[in-house]
Amino acid sequence: MSRLKATLKATAATTLAASLAFAPGLAAASPLGSDPIRLVIPFGPGGGSDITARVLSATAPEFCGPRIDVVSMSGAAGLEAVNFVRNAEPNGHTLLVTDYGPIVTSGFVDDVDWSHDDWQPVMNFTEWLPTVYTRPDHDIQTIEDWMEAAESEPGTITFGHASPLGIVHLPLILLEMETGMENVHVPTSGGGETRSMVMGGHIDLGMTLPASIASEVAAGELTALGVFADERSPALPDTPTFKESGYDVALPAWLMIFATSDVPSETVEFLQDCFMEALASPTAVAMSDRVNAGIEPLNAEDSARLYQNTVDTIGSILREIGEID
Amino acid sequence: MIESLLGGLYLAFSPEVIMFVAVGVFMGVTLGAIPGLSGDMAIAILLPIVFFLEPAAALGLLTGIYKGGMFGGSISAISFGVPGTPGSAATAIDGYQAKLKGYPNKALNTALYSSVIGDTTSDFVLIFLALPLAIVALTFGPVEFFALYAFSLLLISALTKGKVAKGVAMAALGILLAMIGRDPIGGSLRLTFGIPALSGGLALIPVLVGIFAVSELIIQLSRAWMERARRIVDDTKRQAESLLGDYDASKDKLTFREFRANMKATWIGTTMGTLIGALPGAGSSLAAFISYGLAQRFSRNRDDFGKGSLEGVAAAEAGNSATSGSTLIPLFAFGIPGSATAALFGAAFILMGMTPGPRLIYDHTEVIYALFLILIYANLINLALSHFLLPLYSKIAMIQSRILLPIVCVLAILGTFAAGNSVIDVWVLLFAGLLGVVLRIYNFPLAPLILGFIVAPGAERALRQALLIGRGEWTHLLSSPIAIGLYATAAIMILTFTVLMRERKDPTPPAAGKEGQG
Amino acid sequence: MNILTRALTRTDFYTGLVTILVGVVGLLDIAYGNWRPGPGLGPHAFPQLAYIALICAGLGIWVDVLRGKSDDPPSNLRIILSTGIGLVAVGMGMFWLIGKLGFVVSVAITLIGASCLLTREPLKHWPSTILVPIISTAVIWALFVQLINIPLPRALLF
């Protein structure tokens, strides 16, 4: 069994080593050479991370030099992507684009051979704000309605979220920890299933990210109850935050680009600069608006702070619910 | 209204768009014919160009790939017994037998016509009935889905006539293989034997291509090896020789009478495919297997199924292709992607600045009308182009196996790798192939295994969700008329089945008893 | 008694036995193994159902054997099995080789090697054992490296 693992690692490592060893000369301004940069996403194609990463891959080559490919590797619940980047040559050509699930949460609960310190953020694309929503003809229409209903009949409200301990489940756990309320947690296969169960009247509430419900909320086909963030979401300007209602619960899900910590700091700095420059270009801004990605880039330093905070928060939640010691 | 329709017409029939559709169909048929590669993957790869093409051209290209891929999978399913895409696994059951019996061309043409009929019908349903059907799709919650999955598991008995015990064993094995990885409800790991690589579970493509395709390839390779060693006098060789010797291309043409005889199976497949495709998450391979099972039930020549029945090919392929239009229904009606393909089309819409959902058609009327027109006429292009390509591809199938087999093997391995960019998938593929060979040697039927593998994750999730929502009350499972209707249909079908079996004095009475226990 | 001893000579007696054993071992694992409880029946419910179905199916196979219904494995069993193991080895070997020598060289070596193994006088039939694999490699390279751009090392030579 361990041989299989070793073979896998060897394959991945040699794969990259061989492809990079023959880079024909370095491009003038770039420390990267002309071999393509791979943005590896630990999810299937077509989702929010894929679409956001493609904005970068379409605009950044002009600023960074080499071509940029988005590679989707959803195997082993995303851990295959993480391991692929981890075992790649540390030269900045293989980067991980992920939310905190496969890197922070997995780093705690899964049997992995890396720690959170083995990663350094290159930049952050955006912060997704988990949002609770329901159908407009449901009794619960505000955060207050929800709290009252949960108090009068604890443990009866059915709440759909994607996979357990994911980015749209942990905020609910955090809220229940803060308030002591109880809901029936109904895991689903993802945002699509949650939404059809909410719309079809099979469950009471669901959680998702603003971009996927913004137009329905504007058209009055769904009601957004509240956002787990310090500030309101630009996509849902009329939806209050939980903080406004007096519950200090915020757990935004960022989408960050990571390099392994052994990538030289000049390379990371170069990548950060050219990515930020690319995303500030008019083409990228127009694309980001068109796909509703809400890209607001953060530099490496701020991203690192955000990353560290998330590691602390998620760690304390997981300790509290007994997932880790 | 008229104006936007004309605008849509103008967009859809511009030479550029027609060309992109044709290129897409060609790519789809070719890639679909390679085991492991499917239309979905080609769409995923081509997503970035959506940024740079006109919406109608981009949608034309993607539609063409999708439709071509739907049919392309059946080419290798019939020619080599190796399904090119997950949806064509059911086509392989009878299609490959038909080829061995010396009428590959009839089977390929049956597959093409039923694929196009199913696809076109499904597109019309999408265009005219999207909203009513979408509301039906929303009434499917965990309770109804569990009933649907239970119904499909019961249909397994239809697929395993005469080998009920081994069929049940294979369904159970399929369920167990699907359980490997993370429990979708509780999140804990199970049956991974301590291998971290298995924590994400086994993916569908490597398991399916491995069990069906690699095992078939191994058996054919061993035959090629024995031929080389000149040691064989076994009947398969003689069969192959007689096939080439007596093969009379002029006799191997689909007659109109045969075509008409397959119509019932085609319509069963079309209906089931359209309905199942409209349900989020059910999938084309499930639709194909259910159509196959039902067509066998209702066929006058039931005993030919599994032995090269053209009806079997027609039902499976119609069921597979008829999901293609209806799988977009939840996407258009609610912005909910019902399948991997629908998710990719949704992403394409988003990349073009169009939000999937009910307002799509009001906000971008011309493009959507154009897409509807493209969906229809892409079928005609698919029909015409495939007609032209089929003789070419079936010639490839006649190349000597010692040359062809290694290439097909390498393509299957690389295609499976490319589908998930995963080395683990390649190991799963190879070991699934080995498992498939062992099971074939001991005469276990493979279809129930795949059906169990496809159905189990959904069935488990639906059952446990239903029990969570119903606070652990089992009666909650009977709280929906749709669910009760599905259980009742299943019960009636099993009753008729047993009665029919009695009448025909078929010596397999343990069927009913086993159903009760399992 | 006679019927029972004859059953012992049937292949399907043993396939049934293996089926039952897998089910029993699985149920023992659920009973005594390390399974975490989970919401809504728990993670073990469906595997448990599958193991029970396996045991029932195994007993069903035995019943069929006693009634004289048993399938026989093909006579060339050993050749088929060794081909299977060979294919797994070649597949793994090709991936290992891709890591060492790159995509094009490994695919070409695999194809040429396999065609030569399957052909009686490989050198005499060089167009089909050497030329065709090289052309196929070129097509495969165009498809997977140029079009799809899979994340594998490209090639040593070009």
Of A172, A104, A56, A131, whose CA–CA distance to A308 is shortest?
A104
Q: Please check whether residues A51 and A197 belong to one and the same domain.
A: no
Chains in contact with B via at least 3 Cβ–Cβ pairs below 8 Å: A, C
Question: What is the percent of chain C with per-residue pLDDT over 70, rounded to a whole number?
Answer: 96
- Which residues in chain B are contacts of C114 at CB distance < 8 A? 405-406, 409
Helices (H), A153-190: 170-179
Range of the domain at B88: 2-517
Q: Please check whether residues A11 and A122 belong to one and the same domain.
A: yes
Residue B488 in contact with partner chain A when CB distance is under 8 A: no
Distance of CA A149 to the CA centre of its chain: 31
Question: C 75-94 residues with CB below 8 A of B?
Answer: 75-77, 79-85, 87-88, 90-92, 94
**Cβ(B186)–Cβ(C38) under 8 Å?**
yes
Give the pLDDT of chain A (325 residues) as one tens digit per residue.
333 334 334 434 433 333 333 333 334 456 777 788 989 999 887 778 888 998 899 899 889 888 888 888 887 788 889 999 998 889 889 999 999 999 999 999 888 889 999 999 999 999 999 999 999 999 999 999 999 999 999 889 999 998 889 999 999 999 999 999 999 999 998 888 898 899 999 999 999 988 888 888 988 889 999 999 999 988 899 999 999 999 999 999 999 999 999 999 999 999 999 999 999 999 999 888 888 788 889 999 999 999 999 999 999 999 998 888 7
Of B335, B336, B347, the CB nearest to A51: B347
Report the distance separating Cα B324 and Cα B241, nearest Å.
39
Q: Please check whether residues C111 and C96 belong to one and the same domain.
A: yes
Residue B47 in contact with partner chain A when CB distance is under 8 A: yes
Q: Please check whether residues C116 and C38 belong to one and the same domain.
A: no
Is the sign of the CA dihedral B266, B208, B226, B166 positive or negative? negative
Smallest Cα distance from C40 to chain A, Å: 9
Q: Please check whether residues A124 and A168 belong to one and the same domain.
A: no
Strand partners, A69: A38
Pairing of strands B189-190, B181-182: antiparallel
How far apart, in Å, do the first and last CA atoms of chain C sit? 71
Q: Please check whether residues A58 and A26 belong to one and the same domain.
A: yes
Buried b (16+ CB within 10 A) or exposed e, A161-182: bbbbbbbbbbbbbbbbeeeebe
Look at chain A and report how many structural domains it folds into. Answer: 2
pTM above 0.80, yes or no: yes
Per-residue confidence (pLDDT) for residue B158, from 0 to 100: 55
Write out the DSSP string of B222-234.
HHHHHHHHT----
Q: Which residue has the tokens 């890639």?
A: B31
Q: Please check whether residues C68 and C84 belong to one and the same domain.
A: no
Per-residue confidence (pLDDT) for residue A176, from 0 to 100: 93
Question: C 104-133 residues with CB below 8 A of A?
Answer: none
Range of the domain at A66: 2-128+252-320
Report the distance separating Cα C11 and Cα A192, nearest Å.
48
Name the residue type at position A11. Answer: T
Q: Which residue has the tokens 């006058």?
A: B300
Please check whether residue A247 lies inside any domain of the structure.
Answer: no
Q: Please check whether residues A26 and A55 belong to one and the same domain.
A: yes
Of the residues A210, A227, A244, the one at which a domain ends = A227
Looking from the CA of B33 toward its CB, the CA atoms found within 13 Å total 21
Of A8, A44, A163, the CB nearest to B423: A8
Look at chain B and report how many structural domains it folds into. Answer: 1
Per-residue confidence (pLDDT) for residue C155, from 0 to 100: 54
Pair of tokens at residue B442:
């001991």
pLDDT tens-digit series, residues C31-88: 998 888 888 788 999 999 999 999 999 999 998 888 877 777 777 788 889 999 999 9
How long a stretch of residues is chain B?
518
Q: Please check whether residues C84 and C126 belong to one and the same domain.
A: yes
Instruction: Map B460-479 to HEC letters.
Output: HHHHHHHHHHCCCCHHHHHC
Look at chain C and report how many structural domains it folds into. Answer: 2
Of B37, B280, B453, B202, whose CA–CA distance to A77 is shortest?
B202
CB contact under 8 A, A11 and C98: yes
Range of the domain at C52: 1-73
Q: Which residue of B has its CA nearest to A323?
A: B188
Question: Is residue C102 helix, strand or coil?
Answer: strand
pLDDT tens-digit series, residues B457-483: 889 999 999 999 998 889 999 989 999
CB contact under 8 A, A4 and B195: yes
Of the residues A227, A244, A267, the one at which a domain ends = A227
Report the distance separating Cα B122 and Cα B128, nearest Å.
10
Please check whether residue A111 lies inside any domain of the structure.
Answer: yes
* Ordered mean pLDDT values, 10 residues apiece, chain B (518 residues): 81 91 91 80 77 85 91 88 85 88 88 94 88 77 89 66 81 93 86 84 87 87 78 48 53 84 93 86 82 86 86 94 89 78 84 78 83 93 91 76 85 86 90 93 86 87 92 89 89 73 48 36
pLDDT tens-digit series, residues C114-143: 988 888 778 888 888 888 899 999 988 888
Q: Please check whether residues A277 and A217 belong to one and the same domain.
A: no
Q: Which residue has the tokens 């093909």?
A: C74
**Furthest-apart CA pair in chain C: how many Å?**
71
Q: Please check whether residues A210 and A164 belong to one and the same domain.
A: yes
